[in-house]
């Protein structure tokens, strides 16, 4: 008779049916009226009460697969009320969302009003919290002691806004944009080349640009001022690196455009007449670009600020995942993004009665963990070993359980 894989169980009746429901929740039925998704920032959002709720029954498990190892130093992460940003990223399928969501719950239960943002086009925050968080608006997560809100950035909604903006006034949106740049006559002369149709198509990297715009909102908008911890559940590695490098790219691009504008503005009156723009309109466009460039500089400084920002790499104990994590760490170092911690997720715990499958699997995992110790990019990071469990981590009680294991 075949022997079933001997994964330790964390199952118990209290886990299967906790006293706090982890079924999907209709947010409209529980949200305060001033925080309805249709207008999440109306009225006095920043005055939202954050009084601690009465303690609930603890979430109990019969057995824990294995303790997290290494140095998590959650006391350091939770200390202070100054706003801090945490970005969790890595290879697809390693458990970034579960780790990000569990960290958000941990912060909220330790007195920090927290916001968790998914920049992954394939969102799974709703699945992780067992609550409908779709729609691209701020929604309160039910369960934690202090306010915890989640936001899934909606790229498709932003693409529609991009298309509608470019088609304003019967398709003149692109011309209006170029008019602001002082190039309206040029668009008319090139109309036969269908330049408008070209620009009406959302460009590559729009998802990352949208995420950047949200970061800028967090920096500047008073509606977000209550949050002392903001966590980003990022897309897989390639998207994340584009997100982190975009401020540099836009800063350089806008700088070149501004230099070009300056040259055009200082040209002869004959050249100015070709573009047919008044000086004040050209200056207004230049001022807007300069303000955008300044905001990009702020975002770039935020990503590189060792006091307020930390990137946490999440991986699993396989050779392929560790190799990609090493490349990610090297790229983050090149971008000067601070990294302190490496989470190795889904580690098989020790067992006194291993089956053949578990024995072989554990050997492979030990080989991958040895790679970390010998890798020049990863060996210096604080290592957190998170166990493989036999059920899905879904809902706030389960995320609290996971957070207590990982974030010590």
pLDDT tens readout for residues 162-181? 566 555 544 455 455 445 54
For residue 231, what pLDDT is reported? 95
Q: Measured between alpha carbons, how far is 16 from 38 in angstroms, rounded to an integer?
A: 34
Q: How confident is the model at residue 276 (pLDDT cuts 50, 70, 90)?
A: low
Q: Is 305 a catalytic residue?
A: no
- pLDDT-derived band at 188 (thresholds 50, 70, 90) equals low
> Which candidate in 120, 179, 233, 251 is catalytic?
120
Q: What is the pLDDT of residue 375?
A: 96
3-state secondary structure of 50: coil
Give the pLDDT score at 272.
Answer: 53
* Burial group, residue 396, by CB count within 10 angstroms (0-12, 13-18, 19+): buried
Structure confidence at residue 124 (pLDDT): 86
Segments in 266-307 forming alpha helices (H): 269-275, 279-303
On the question of pLDDT at 189 being above 50, the answer is no
**Higher pLDDT pick, 169 / 103:** 103
Q: What is the pLDDT of residues 381-404, one digit of tens each?
A: 999 999 998 888 999 999 999 999
pLDDT at 164: 62
User: What is the per-residue pLDDT across 194-246, written as a single tens digit (0 to 9) for each?
Assistant: 444 544 555 556 667 777 777 888 888 888 899 999 999 988 877 788 778 87
Q: Using alpha carbons, select from 76, 67, 60 the residue that is nearest to residue 401.
A: 60
**Cα–Cα dist 138/56, whole Å:** 25
Pair 250, 295: CB distance under 8 Å: no
Identify the band that residue 344 occupies on the pLDDT scale cut at 50, 70 and 90.
Answer: very high
Q: What is the pLDDT at residue 282?
A: 60
Query: Residue 161: helix, strand or coil by DSSP?
Result: helix
Give pLDDT tens digits for 15-52: 333 433 334 434 334 434 333 333 343 333 333 434 44
Separation CA 11–CA 298 (nearest Å): 46
The pLDDT of residue 2: 47
What is the average pLDDT value for the chain, to the nearest integer?
A: 74
């Amino acid at each position: 008779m075949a022997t079933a894989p001997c994964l330790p169980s964390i199952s118990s009746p209290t886990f299967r049916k906790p006293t706090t429901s982890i079924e999907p929740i209709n947010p409209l039925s529980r949200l305060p009226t001033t925080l309805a998704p249709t207008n999440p920032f109306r009225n006095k959002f920043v005055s939202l009460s954050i009084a601690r709720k009465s303690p609930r029954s603890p979430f109990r498990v019969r057995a824990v697969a294995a303790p997290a190892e290494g140095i998590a130093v959650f006391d350091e992460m939770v200390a202070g009320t100054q706003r801090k940003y945490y970005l969790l990223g890595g290879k697809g399928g390693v458990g970034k969302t579960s780790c990000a969501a569990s960290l958000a719950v941990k912060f909220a239960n330790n007195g920090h009003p927290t916001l968790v943002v998914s920049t992954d086009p394939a969102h799974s925050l709703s699945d992780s919290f067992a609550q409908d968080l779709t729609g691209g608006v701020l929604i309160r997560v039910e369960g934690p002691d202090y306010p915890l809100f989640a936001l899934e950035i909606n790229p498709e909604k932003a693409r529609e806004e991009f298309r509608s903006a470019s088609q304003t006034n019967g398709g003149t949106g692109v011309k209006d944009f170029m008019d602001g740049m002082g190039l309206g006559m040029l668009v008319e002369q090139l109309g036969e080349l269908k330049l408008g149709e070209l620009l009406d198509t959302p460009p590559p990297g729009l998802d990352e640009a949208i995420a950047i715009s949200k970061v800028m909102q967090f920096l500047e908008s008073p509606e977000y001022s209550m949050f002392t911890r903001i966590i980003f559940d990022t897309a897989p590695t390639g998207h994340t690196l584009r997100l982190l490098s975009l401020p540099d790219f836009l800063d350089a691009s806008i700088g070149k455009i501004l230099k070009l504008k300056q040259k055009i503005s200082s040209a002869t009156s004959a050249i100015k007449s070709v573009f047919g723009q008044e000086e004040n309109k050209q200056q207004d466009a230049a001022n807007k670009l300069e303000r955008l460039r300044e905001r990009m500089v702020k975002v770039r400084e935020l990503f590189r600020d060792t006091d307020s920002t930390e990137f946490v790499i999440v991986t699993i104990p396989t050779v392929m995942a560790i190799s990609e994590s090493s490349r990610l760490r090297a790229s983050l170092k090149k971008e000067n993004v601070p990294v302190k911690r490496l989470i190795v997720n889904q580690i098989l715990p020790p067992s006194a009665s291993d089956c053949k499958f578990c024995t072989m699997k554990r050997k492979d995992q030990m080989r991958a963990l040895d790679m970390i110790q010998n890798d020049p990019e990863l060996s210096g990071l604080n290592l957190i070993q998170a166990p493989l469990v036999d059920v899905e981590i879904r809902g706030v009680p389960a995320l609290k359980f996971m957070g207590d294991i990982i974030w010590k």
